[in-house]
Amino acid sequence: MKAHVLTLFPELVKQPMEHSIVGRALSRGQLTVDVLDIRSFATNKHAKVDDSPYGGGPGMVMTPQPLVDAIEATRALCQKPWVIAFSPAGRLLDQARVRQLVAESVTDGRECIFVCGRYEGIDERVLDGWCDEIMSIGDYVLSGGELAALVVIDAMARLVPGVLGNAASPDEESLEQGLLEYPQYSRPESFRGHPVPEVLLSGDHARIASWRRARALARTRERRPDLFARLTLSAADKKLLES
């Protein structure tokens, strides 16, 4: 999988990617991420990348020239570019979209170009004319798109075949099947008077599977009624929930 990040703060993106799963995927060549400094594309004397908003209002807006030149230069390096700009006013990212992005990257060779905003955001003409998708990572406002880029790259990297040690593990995780994951426990069997649920020590795989399904359904109903409302429950699921 290959991706590009356009940012005013390259180190904010590069350093966190040096560690753990993403760092390993990068060093193994399973993932390539080019990070470009938008400011290096500014053609004005002081490499200025922002200006005050037309119509008045607080803060500064990222001006089109450096951004568009950075996007066009990056697009020219890709066979199948897909430009994603980050904004809290974008479409909300979810696990299904992450999966699609990975499939498009891994099977179709699509290269995502992530555009990180700063200040009060990006001149709308850049979003309208040079970006294929406007993406939000949640209903809150960050200071910049760099954390959003890291979130998407991390979520995508773990779905790239071979990146996670245990290839089966992503399918069981929260949200993969429209459900939250069941609770997990490890050693010791009892910690400060809190025991591990007895069923997990039973060695009875059928009982464990049905306990996990019941816990996943129950916690989805309790914590994420929006997800629960979209589930199609089988008769067995309904029985599990009742029990």
Binding site for ligand SAM (CB under 6 A): 86-89, 116-118, 120-122, 136-138, 140-145, 148
- Contacts within 8 Å (CB) and 24+ apart, 102-110: 102/1, 102/156, 102/159, 102/160, 105/1, 105/2, 105/3, 105/156, 105/160, 106/1, 106/160, 106/161, 108/80, 109/79, 109/80, 110/80, 110/81, 110/82
Least distance CB 235 / ligand SAM (angstroms): 40
Torsion of CA 228, 232, 236, 240, to 10 degrees: 10
Least distance CB 166 / ligand SAM (angstroms): 30
Least distance CB 5 / ligand SAM (angstroms): 12
Quick one: 6 or 216, whose CB is closer to ligand SAM?
6
Cα–chain center distance at 60: 27
Quick one: 66 or 163, whose CB is closer to ligand SAM?
66
Q: Which residue is nearest to ligand SAM (CB)?
A: 117
Q: How far apart are CA 148 and CA 9, in angstroms?
A: 13
Quick one: 110 or 118, whose CB is closer to ligand SAM?
118
- Strand, coil or helix: what is 51? strand
Least distance CB 59 / ligand SAM (angstroms): 7
Quick one: 29 or 55, whose CB is closer to ligand SAM?
55
Least distance CB 86 / ligand SAM (angstroms): 3
Quick one: 125 or 207, whose CB is closer to ligand SAM?
125
